Amino acid sequence: MASTQSERRIKIGVLGASGYTGAETLRLAARHPNIEIAALTADRRAGEPIASVFPHLGGLDLPTLTKLDAVAWDTLEAVFCCLPHATTQEVVAGLPAHLKVIDLSADFRLRDTATYAEWYGHEHLAPHLQDSAVYGLTEWARDALADTRLAACPGCYPTGALLPLLPLLRDGLIDPDDIIIDSKSGVTGAGRAPKEAMLFGEVSEGVNAYGIAHHRHTPEMEQELSVAADAPIKISFTPHLLPMNRGILSTIYVKMANGGGSTELRQSLLKAYADAPFVRVVPQGQAPATRHVRGSNHCLIGVFDDRVAGRALVISAIDNLVKGSSGQAIQNFNLMFGLPETAGLEQEPLFP
Amino acid sequence: MASTQSERRIKIGVLGASGYTGAETLRLAARHPNIEIAALTADRRAGEPIASVFPHLGGLDLPTLTKLDAVAWDTLEAVFCCLPHATTQEVVAGLPAHLKVIDLSADFRLRDTATYAEWYGHEHLAPHLQDSAVYGLTEWARDALADTRLAACPGCYPTGALLPLLPLLRDGLIDPDDIIIDSKSGVTGAGRAPKEAMLFGEVSEGVNAYGIAHHRHTPEMEQELSVAADAPIKISFTPHLLPMNRGILSTIYVKMANGGGSTELRQSLLKAYADAPFVRVVPQGQAPATRHVRGSNHCLIGVFDDRVAGRALVISAIDNLVKGSSGQAIQNFNLMFGLPETAGLEQEPLFP
Amino acid sequence: MASTQSERRIKIGVLGASGYTGAETLRLAARHPNIEIAALTADRRAGEPIASVFPHLGGLDLPTLTKLDAVAWDTLEAVFCCLPHATTQEVVAGLPAHLKVIDLSADFRLRDTATYAEWYGHEHLAPHLQDSAVYGLTEWARDALADTRLAACPGCYPTGALLPLLPLLRDGLIDPDDIIIDSKSGVTGAGRAPKEAMLFGEVSEGVNAYGIAHHRHTPEMEQELSVAADAPIKISFTPHLLPMNRGILSTIYVKMANGGGSTELRQSLLKAYADAPFVRVVPQGQAPATRHVRGSNHCLIGVFDDRVAGRALVISAIDNLVKGSSGQAIQNFNLMFGLPETAGLEQEPLFP
Amino acid sequence: MASTQSERRIKIGVLGASGYTGAETLRLAARHPNIEIAALTADRRAGEPIASVFPHLGGLDLPTLTKLDAVAWDTLEAVFCCLPHATTQEVVAGLPAHLKVIDLSADFRLRDTATYAEWYGHEHLAPHLQDSAVYGLTEWARDALADTRLAACPGCYPTGALLPLLPLLRDGLIDPDDIIIDSKSGVTGAGRAPKEAMLFGEVSEGVNAYGIAHHRHTPEMEQELSVAADAPIKISFTPHLLPMNRGILSTIYVKMANGGGSTELRQSLLKAYADAPFVRVVPQGQAPATRHVRGSNHCLIGVFDDRVAGRALVISAIDNLVKGSSGQAIQNFNLMFGLPETAGLEQEPLFP
């Protein structure tokens, strides 16, 4: 990395800066050595300083929030899209071609636009862009990211499920027809829009499953798992809402494909992520915990033999707002601009 | 129920009254129309009033805590044993024969004393009593409870898993060789003894699995499931610790035995619990939540088709300290003394 | 209490049953020996069963929710108004005269309608009813409640502050010009309407003051404190929002009026509440905690000498939804109908 | 700052690295551009890697934990003492003179060793070192810190109370005889040692005051306030325990000394902290919240007129583990070594 490159400042815009992924992108981008935050949008809060939307960022010298159409696109090199699902396709389609786009929404994650229409309930609004979009699970798309203009950052649940499963499927170690993913998530994945179900009084001191058998992150997972297995895969995926802000723990139940056990699974994972700065296979016997990744871009993975013969468990922990969203977006940005993968992401987890 | 019976006051003792199950037993027993709390023990807190151990019970007129050997057993008719696992067998063996015993520990739950020794790491200390012990999952042991002197109340996880699974196995609806139980629990199941892992700072804002493939509630579940299936069963069971005080949600992944789906499962459950005052199958499409049973003896069960053909989910929610422990103990006490099953247990859940 | 009276069932309606105070009133009323819940209203949820609004009450046999104008008023004897502030005056003004009204809103709490207009921003809409309304801080209004048709139940903060302060002012023990009330509340006091500030992600893991120097519960407190002191009183009152569902802790800083200290304060409180079933002065040296009153109608009060000479602290703990709202409403209902004060309120606190 | 200085790596040791202040010091030091962590001690965990004590730091390349007497002191330039109160004096007395010491305990905070003995219950064990210790409230001790070998970092409560109060007293704006400090703290201030009162089940969903009128942070505050006021000051200080990990909110009730109000107080604070990178006076009308400083070294201060004439409120928010402990320790280290005050402390708060 030449000194000139390491000192380069890339002007970015954050579109949809008033939600949680917006806030988290700002938190990370503000301290990124190669980023200058030059534009912030939030249609309903246009005209306000970021401090009135996010008092915790009030000490930063950031641009005032504007409407989308007030951005001087030609001054920017890249945009992070933190807009709601289903609004991003049109926005991205309208952006000047010189801009690199890191999209945190679901709008460009599904390669098959028919599948998109089926799960999201409307036609894809920018199908001509879909082909050039790279599904940005960083560790599995480094080369493609270096070449793309448009990174579709994975959903939080897919990130936590795919990182442990892709190597195992690729290496043929597990039965592709018997994968059960039981995920436990904090509330921030649901965003900042006021909904009764997300009130403190409704969430605290309790747990429930939701989106059973029809959560929209399912096709994303199946898309990538099918590539790794080289065969169509259907999974059983059940998300749960927990009384915590951040974190996704995915407990994944698998059947061994041809003998073997946790030792073989561990080997596969260690090899797959030997050079991955943010993915760590925890020591044998340790169980990953979301509190050990809070605020960081880390993904922890643990592997266990089940007591039922031929079965094993793989457990992963991520912070849904970092590796599951804004952190992975920064990581993808780094690769898209030829920066070190870890730039701006080197904070340790915050515990307790 | 004759008026004389409904007005009867049965003198009870609570052994081990300074832990969470002790406190919960007191909360319920204090308002039970047929109970008089006549003795309380807590070896390390002997001599203290309950108010110094549990200030929330300070308004009750309760006996002072004593050591176990200071109890006047002949004045009592029944004891609730809230003692730690592995200490109860000897205590119960030493009790006078006229006392009915409701044991909340694990000490008499496993019918096979060799299995007990294997999982608990020491020989059973009262094998002569084991045969007469009734595994007190109330809804499945009403007749036996009416006749027994010794009720072994199920563990909290087994209660949450067995209530939904037993009817389905008995009715031959699900594959007995493919049962995965993913349980999420609040902290009170771990008791009140100070441990680093249970500090607020270690538990809040996070989730982790524990006891993976070797939790001690496993053999209990397998014992009862095997009876229902009339064949030996091995399960995959994984408990998780959540940042909440009370509640266990069990997400259970099953494979249909011979076609059918959630409709058949629902029918089986509705029929099995038509007369059970505390077990409720929730309306189709609703997901049970632990916050909807908090403080009550209720068990909620929901059933869902999986999107993987031939698979289904059964989800149950209980309060681990009530139906999973002290409430079920009271429910068993009621049956052992010919009282209405619901006596003292009619409180609605506390939400939020 | 004659047997006929103790078996009497009074038909009530709950107006505004879809909020938290509605739910809590239902929880208590459903198990009240003298209440039959005969009507439930919730304009926006009319036509739905209570189970779809509050699944935790799904096991009860309750009327379907209706609009206000669908209630058959002549079949009822009393209504609990759990409607939002500022909508209740008109509703109550329109009710038939035979109905007793227990109002949980702020609409009839201020005897001076000009003060009401000043703090609530609009003219009082039923001034002719205000004179007959009794400010229902039960322990201080037993006789008046027995005679009234309209009980205005105190706010949650005033309940927690007035119970400890009224005796001390009446007995002339503290300086009426130097009262500082620092209150800490759970979220349910803010109701169930979706607001960004009440999302789990905004509330958990943090604390802040709000409504500083202008919270609407201030004039209520000053009204009652002034009566007790027989002189106009201005207080410093600051509420804080805490990451918990229930509970208000009020830390009250006072100056002794003429020597003395915590001993005299304690005597005054013990005497004032000697016959109050729900108010308890905790043992010397113990600090009241909200978790010790959760789910109960209790108020705990502790008294401490400050290390600054001539100063003392009085600390109270209540559950804002019970003694601070629905429980006190039931307590007032009991007095209005000549029932035992504790009827339906005898549950012990839920801890943990 | 010369380039050679900015690239300098100072070898430090962290003594008592297995507690929460140890973990937090490591989190910050590990990313400090001028620090190399060369020794870690934890007597009871000696021989273990940090990953087994703090899995969230498992990705760092850190020294194995050792006993105190195994440290090669001559290889180090500075030590951070994160040892329990009352054990630090002897340890520091035994350290070689070339080491700079940043002490996070209470052992060197009180200039008067008699006051220390009175509040801590034993004689000071290193009185000869006390004179050279600097009370390290950074913003008020920059020059002294640059010259000292021993920084006694303030307690978490004193940090939150002194930062807003010192300017106001120095400028003569408030009555020194009428200061009431009501503080609300998360649990991590109590450390990581297992205690019943700190279990999740005991802390969650509740709040209580503790240490009323005798908390050990009181003399520290009075010492520094008295200096600022140039007269002996006694304060009323009451800490409260809240269900959250991090954060202290201090609501401070003051009386204006000679007219004026929040405008004058605000001016005084703005002037005092104009050049302080971590202290921020929030915009008028905003209330500081602890969630807006989480994980950062920031202190937010808000000022409000009370509705009682002549009274005002000053409210501060800090993260007790950062500005209230390890962050301020790093800040002091920076000054002691001539580094930029903000080195290693530039992370934004983590919200939500």
Retrieve residue B93's tokens: 């063996």
Pick the residue with more confidence: D5 or A71? Answer: A71
Chain C residue nearest residue B285, CA to CA: C52
Nearest residue, CB atoms, C23 vs list B55, B187, B351? B351
Judge if B224 and B262 occupy the same domain.
Answer: yes
Q: What percentage of chain C exceeds 90 in pLDDT?
A: 96
Answer yes or no: D156 catalytic.
yes
Q: A283 CB contacts (<8 Å, ≥6 apart)?
A: D51
CATH classification of the domain holding A212: 3.30.360.10
Subunits adjacent to chain C (3 or more Cβ pairs under 8 Å): A, B, D
Nearest-neighbour CA in chain B from A41: distance (Å): 30
Give pLDDT tens digits for C84-105.
888 999 999 999 999 999 999 9
Judge if A68 and A195 occupy the same domain.
Answer: no
Judge if B198 and B57 occupy the same domain.
Answer: no
Contacts of C201 in chain A (CB under 8 A): 20, 187-188, 192, 198, 245
Comparing CA positions, the residue from D25, D33, D4 lying closest to residue D344 is D33
Q: Are A289 and B201 in contact (CB under 8 A)?
A: no
Rg (CA), chain D: 20
Q: Are A241 and A306 in contact (CB under 8 A)?
A: no
Judge if C253 and C238 occupy the same domain.
Answer: yes
Question: A184 pLDDT exceeds 90?
Answer: yes
Question: D316 pLDDT exceeds 50?
Answer: yes
Nearest-neighbour CA in chain A from C80: distance (Å): 22
Position A287 confidence tier, pLDDT thresholds 50, 70, 90: very high
Taking an 8 Å cut-off on Cβ atoms, the answer to whether A27 and D348 are in contact is: yes
Instruction: Give the C-alpha separation, B259 to B310, whole Å.
Output: 7
Give pLDDT tens digits for A121-171.
999 999 999 999 999 999 999 999 999 999 999 999 999 999 999 999 999
Domain annotation covers residue B23: yes
Q: How many CB pairs under 8 A join A and C?
A: 59
Domain annotation covers residue A330: yes
Taking an 8 Å cut-off on Cβ atoms, the answer to whether C27 and B51 are in contact is: no
Question: B4 pLDDT exceeds 80?
Answer: no
Judge if C181 and C290 occupy the same domain.
Answer: yes
Q: DSSP letters along D31-86, please?
A: T-TTEEEEEEE-GGGTTS-HHHH-GGGTTS--PPEE-GGG--GGG-SEEEE-PPTT
State the average pLDDT over residues B102-111.
98
Nearest-neighbour CA in chain D from B53: distance (Å): 11
Contacts of B218 in chain A (CB under 8 A): 307
Taking an 8 Å cut-off on Cβ atoms, the answer to whether D200 and B205 are in contact is: no
CATH classification of the domain holding D132: 3.40.50.720
Is residue D201 classed exposed, middle or buried when 0-12, 13-18 and 19+ CB atoms within 10 A define those classes? buried
Position B5 confidence tier, pLDDT thresholds 50, 70, 90: low
Judge if C330 and C244 occupy the same domain.
Answer: no
Judge if A174 and A305 occupy the same domain.
Answer: yes
Taking an 8 Å cut-off on Cβ atoms, the answer to whether A184 and B247 are in contact is: no
Contacts of C244 in chain A (CB under 8 A): 204
Nearest residue, CB atoms, A286 vs list D20, D55, D286? D55
Domain annotation covers residue C347: no
Contacts of A181 in chain B (CB under 8 A): none
Rounded to 5 degrees, φ, ψ at D347 are -70, 145
Contacts of D56 in chain A (CB under 8 A): 291-294, 296, 348-349, 351
User: B8-44: string of b/e by CB count within 10 Å (b at 16+)?
Assistant: bebebbbbbbbbbbbbbbbbbbbbbebbebbbbbbee
- D81, D82, D156, D299: the catalytic one is D156
Nearest-neighbour CA in chain B from D189: distance (Å): 10
Residues of C known to be catalytic: 156
Nearest-neighbour CA in chain B from A242: distance (Å): 8
Please tell me the predicted confidence (pLDDT) of residue D1.
40
Contacts of D204 in chain C (CB under 8 A): 244, 352
Judge if A246 and A281 occupy the same domain.
Answer: yes
Please tell me the predicted confidence (pLDDT) of residue A124.
97
Residue D321 three-state SS: coil
Taking an 8 Å cut-off on Cβ atoms, the answer to whether B196 and D196 are in contact is: no
Domain annotation covers residue B349: no
Helices D218-229 & D113-120 angle (0-180, nearest 10): 150
User: Which ipTM score applies to this complex?
Assistant: 0.96
Provide the residue range defining the domain that includes B130.
5-154+324-336
Retrieve residue C301's tokens: 């009060």
Position B2 confidence tier, pLDDT thresholds 50, 70, 90: very low
Retrieve residue D60's tokens: 């760092």
Alpha helices in A94-203 (DSSP H): 113-120, 127-130, 142-147, 156-170, 200-203
Chain A residue nearest residue C352, CA to CA: A205
| Residue position matching structure tokens 């109701």 | C191
Distances (CA, A) of D104 to B320, D20, D114, D125: 41, 11, 21, 17
Contacts of B205 in chain D (CB under 8 A): 245
Nearest residue, CB atoms, B286 vs list C55, C245, C346? C55
State the average pLDDT over residues A252-277.
96
Nearest-neighbour CA in chain C from B320: distance (Å): 12
Judge if B38 and B143 occupy the same domain.
Answer: yes
Nearest residue, CB atoms, B55 vs list C20, C51, C292? C292
Domain annotation covers residue B305: yes
Nearest-neighbour CA in chain C from B217: distance (Å): 23
Contacts of A192 in chain C (CB under 8 A): 196, 199, 201-202
Count of the separate structural domains present in chain C = 2
Judge if C201 and C246 occupy the same domain.
Answer: yes
Residues of A known to be catalytic: 156
Question: A177 pLDDT exceeds 80?
Answer: yes
Q: Are A44 and A17 in contact (CB under 8 A)?
A: no
Distances (CA, A) of D248 to A169, A295, B18, C53: 48, 20, 32, 37
Chain D residue nearest residue A49, CA to CA: D283
Please tell me the predicted confidence (pLDDT) of residue B1.
40
Residue C311 three-state SS: strand
| Residue position matching structure tokens 């920084």 | D151
Instruction: Give the C-alpha separation, A146 to A274, whole Å.
Output: 20
Q: Which of B296-305, C94-103, C245-254, D80-89 has the lowest mean pLDDT?
A: D80-89
Mean model confidence pLDDT for chain D: 96
Please tell me the predicted confidence (pLDDT) of residue C5.
64
Instruction: Give the C-alpha separation, C292 to D202, whole Å.
Output: 10
Chain C residue nearest residue A241, CA to CA: C200
Q: Are D25 and D330 in contact (CB under 8 A)?
A: yes
Domain annotation covers residue B176: yes
Nearest residue, CB atoms, D294 vs list C205, C208, C251? C205
Instruction: Give the C-alpha separation, B188 to B198, whole Å.
Output: 9
Nearest residue, CB atoms, C196 vs list A192, A204, A205? A192
Comparing CA positions, the residue from B121, B178, B108 lying closest to residue B332 is B108
State the average pLDDT over residues A205-224.
97
Give pLDDT tens digits for A222-233.
999 999 999 999
Nearest residue, CB atoms, D27 vs list A54, A59, A348? A348
Nearest residue, CB atoms, A298 vs list D59, D283, D291? D59
Mutate to test the interface with B, among A115, A208, A225 (most CBs of B within 10 A): A208
Question: C55 pLDDT exceeds 90?
Answer: yes
Please tell me the predicted confidence (pLDDT) of residue A7.
81
User: Across the strands, what pairs with C12?
Assistant: C37, C78
Please tell me the predicted confidence (pLDDT) of residue C7.
82
Please tell me the predicted confidence (pLDDT) of residue A85.
86
Instruction: Give the C-alpha separation, B161 to B169, whole Å.
Output: 12
Q: Are C344 and C35 in contact (CB under 8 A)?
A: yes
Nearest-neighbour CA in chain D from A122: distance (Å): 32
Please tell me the predicted confidence (pLDDT) of residue C69.
95
Q: B275 CB contacts (<8 Å, ≥6 apart)?
A: none
Taking an 8 Å cut-off on Cβ atoms, the answer to whether B59 and C298 are in contact is: yes
Instruction: Give the C-alpha separation, C295 to C323, whole Å.
Output: 9
Instruction: Give the C-alpha separation, B118 to C181, whole Å.
Output: 59
Position B86 confidence tier, pLDDT thresholds 50, 70, 90: confident
Taking an 8 Å cut-off on Cβ atoms, the answer to whether A294 and D350 are in contact is: yes
Judge if A10 and A43 occupy the same domain.
Answer: yes
State the average pLDDT over residues B108-136.
97
Nearest residue, CB atoms, D206 vs list C180, C236, C244? C244
Give pLDDT tens digits for B145-194.
999 999 999 999 999 999 999 999 999 999 999 999 999 999 999 999 99
State the average pLDDT over residues B89-106.
97
Nearest-neighbour CA in chain D from A63: distance (Å): 17
Instruction: Give the C-alpha separation, B252 to D76, whole Å.
Output: 55
Domain annotation covers residue D308: yes
Taking an 8 Å cut-off on Cβ atoms, the answer to whether B245 and D20 are in contact is: no
Domain annotation covers residue D344: no
Give pLDDT tens digits for B293-325.
999 999 999 999 999 999 999 999 999 999 999
Taking an 8 Å cut-off on Cβ atoms, the answer to whether D292 and A246 are in contact is: no
Give me the half-sphere count of Cα atoms (radius 13 Å) on the Cβ side of residue B234: 8
Please tell me the predicted confidence (pLDDT) of residue C345.
98
Subunits adjacent to chain D (3 or more Cβ pairs under 8 Å): A, B, C
Contacts of C292 in chain D (CB under 8 A): 206
State the average pLDDT over residues B44-57.
96
User: Across the strands, what pairs with C66?
Assistant: C41
Please tell me the predicted confidence (pLDDT) of residue A4.
59
Give pLDDT tens digits for D140-179.
999 999 999 999 999 999 999 999 999 999 999 999 999 9
Comparing CA positions, the residue from D294, D249, D301 lying closest to residue D279 is D301
Question: D85 pLDDT exceeds 90?
Answer: no
**Cis peptide upstream of residue C352 (ω within 30 degrees of 0):** yes
Contacts of D236 in chain C (CB under 8 A): 253, 306-308, 311, 313
Give me the half-sphere count of Cα atoms (radius 13 Å) on the Cβ side of residue D112: 9
Judge if C66 and C187 occupy the same domain.
Answer: no
Taking an 8 Å cut-off on Cβ atoms, the answer to whether A55 and D292 are in contact is: yes
**Angle ∠(A68,A71,A72) on CA atoms, nearest 5:** 155
Mean model confidence pLDDT for chain B: 96
Give pLDDT tens digits for A325-340.
999 999 999 999 999 9
Taking an 8 Å cut-off on Cβ atoms, the answer to whether C245 and A192 are in contact is: no
Give pLDDT tens digits for D207-237.
999 999 999 999 999 999 999 999 999 999 9
Taking an 8 Å cut-off on Cβ atoms, the answer to whether D55 and A289 are in contact is: yes
Q: A120 CB contacts (<8 Å, ≥6 apart)?
A: A85, A86, A106, A216
Contacts of C204 in chain B (CB under 8 A): 205
Q: Which amino acid is at C342?
A: T
Subunits adjacent to chain B (3 or more Cβ pairs under 8 Å): A, C, D
